[in-house]
Amino acid sequence: MKTIPRRRRSFSLFAFLSVLLTAATLLVGSPANAACGSACNNKDPQVYPSSKPCGGDAITAKTFTSMGRTLQLRYSPSCRTVWARIYGGQSQDKVILERWEGQGTIYTPVLMWEYFGSREWSLMYNDAGTQIRACLQLEWATTPGSRLGCTGHY
């Protein structure tokens, strides 16, 4: 029986594994918008990215309801982004996305959106590694203390 030199066997095994790994990568591929991160900031979740909009796999992570208004914090697992959606909103109601700073009740505003009765959702914000909540401020309210309320953070 003829034996193959050790060096040649190692090279053959390496070449075979390389071809197998390349084929697996091509077959599986990656999602068109896998965690688009900050590239998704301030983009419309219903149309961005054009190949597979983030709104397509969104879930409602948290909800707040008061005075005939329902505020939802929406989350896209594939894009790792959040945005707010409002039902029953009045013209000029304000929606604020806030990042939780990890301690107590300290939040930092990251996106503000004013509802004017057409589009019912805000733009997106990358929430990778952070927790975000959506808050609703009535059109006549001028300070954060006069907010109607917020969703929980997610």
Q: How confident is the model at residue 20 (pLDDT cuts 50, 70, 90)?
A: very low
Domain count, the chain: 1
Predicted TM-score of the model (pTM):
0.75
Q: The CATH number of the domain where 120 resides is what?
A: 2.60.40
- Whether residue 99 is predicted with pLDDT greater than 90 in this model: the reply is yes
Cβ-proximal residues to 20 (8 Å cutoff; 6+ apart), any chain: none
- Give one DSSP letter per residue of 107-125, joined into a string: EEEEEEEE--SS--B---E
* Residue at token pair 């790994």: 21
pLDDT band at 139 (very low <50, low <70, confident <90, very high): confident
With respect to residue 64, please indicate whether it lies within any of the assigned structural domains.
Answer: yes
| pLDDT tens string 33-71 | 468 889 999 999 999 999 999 999 999 999 999 999 999
Q: Does 18 reside within a domain?
A: no
CA distance 142 to 4: 81
Assigned domain for 107 exists: yes
CB 56 within 8 A of CB 32: no
